[in-house]
Amino acid sequence: MAAKIHPSTRSMITFCFLLVSTASAMTEEQPFATNLDPKLLGLKKEKLTHFRVYWHDIIGGSKPGDKPTSFEVLPPLRLNDAAMFGLVNIFDNPLTVGPDPASQLVGKSQGLYASASQHQFGLLMAMNFAFTHGKYNGSTITILGRNPIFDTVREMPVIGGSGRFRFARGYAQATTHFFNATSLDAIVEYNIYVLHY
């Protein structure tokens, strides 16, 4: 003889079954990623832009009154290490249109560099070029890469950006314009080639 199920229990079982099947259907119908038409985000034709700016890394100050823009946050792991392995500096460096620190300021380079090579003085650079001038005001270009500073020209990838540089990609070439071995101050010319919308 089959057990009788009370009508209220039957209703509760039916409700739970419907709830579970609805939740399962909702999960299947709502994917976490969808393909979009770039035009929906206002993206038009991709363009290539070249920037030439000068990056001023002021550590000790070459002239009286110079204020540091780059600070050591971790010293090298070993004293008297020519590669300075383990050194980490954080910076908020001016970006100007010319090598003269008094030339027009167009932004700041904010980030860090770390000596990441045990055998050669090679830096890992992680930085944003945050522009403050003209139509690029408020936009950033992000650079992340290896910088063997004693090479004449060093190339690092542009991995993205914000504002006018959303979806940006490209590369930056760094060339030392000036270096003071006493103060460790440097002025580096950056030629940046960016594909962006």
pLDDT at 57 over 80: yes
What pLDDT sits at residue 3?
61
* Residues 158/133/92/68 CA torsion (nearest 10 deg): 140
pLDDT greater than 90 at residue 187:
yes
How far is it, in rounded angstroms, from Cα 31 to Cα 154? 43
**CA–CA distance, 170 with 177 (Å, rounded to integer):** 22
Q: What is the pLDDT of residues 78-87, one digit of tens each?
A: 877 888 999 9
User: Does the global pTM surpass 0.85?
Assistant: no
| Residue 41 CA to its chain's centroid (Å) | 22
Spatial distance between the Cα atoms of 117 and 87, rounded to a whole number of angstroms: 10
User: Domains, the chain, ranges and CATH?
Assistant: 44-196 (2.40.480.10)
pLDDT at 196: 96
Q: What is the pLDDT of residues 127-161, one digit of tens each?
A: 999 999 999 999 999 999 999 999 999 999 999 99
Q: What angle do CA 45, 48, 52 make, to 5 degrees?
A: 150
Query: What number is the average pLDDT over the span 13-42?
Result: 69
Task: Report yes or no: 194 and 166 within 8 Å, Cβ to Cβ.
Answer: no
Task: Compute the distance between CA of residue 48 and CA of residue 183 in angstroms, rounded to an integer.
Answer: 37
